[in-house]
Amino acid sequence: MQWWIVLAALAVSTLGGWGVTAGFLWLGENRARKPMPRVVLLESTAEGPEDAVLRGGLMIGMLERVAVTGGLIAGYPEVVALVVAIKGLGRFSELKKTPAAAERFIVGTFASLLVAFVVAMAALLLAGEPLRAPKT
């Protein structure tokens, strides 16, 4: 596969995926019966804005799409399971305490993974690479 296809796919997945994911989150918030807060705060003994739940979601989503798109292009679909497991374990305590944050996490993750998958498949088709079954 040509290097420029890989770089373009990673760029589109990373940067373009932000808009798609934000759009899905916006739709979810505006179609809900009760509006969800954009930032959910937990009770904490610490002070300051560092206590916001799901901080770093934009950067984590970008890294997630790079890893998934790159893994799929390289022929390692198991990267998807690894990324989902790491995200879930890393956010578990926050998600357990806050249902609104859990919903945003699920919608954002699915939208992000969908973008990464579509971009990776488009890159493989553009490069003329066969879509292979996972290695066993």
DSSP-assigned letter for residue 15: I
pTM for this prediction: 0.76
Percent of the chain with pLDDT over 70: 77
pLDDT level of residue 74 (50, 70, 90 thresholds): very high
Average pLDDT on 69-81 reads 94
pLDDT, position 118: 96
47: pLDDT strictly greater than 90: no
Q: Select from 42, 23, 4, 3 the least CA-distant residue to 112.
A: 23
Q: Select from 102, 25, 3, 112 the least CA-distant residue to 67.
A: 112
pLDDT digits 0-9 by tens, 91-114 = 887 778 888 778 888 888 999 999
Distance (Å, rounded) from C-alpha 66 to C-alpha 9? Answer: 9
pLDDT level of residue 134 (50, 70, 90 thresholds): low
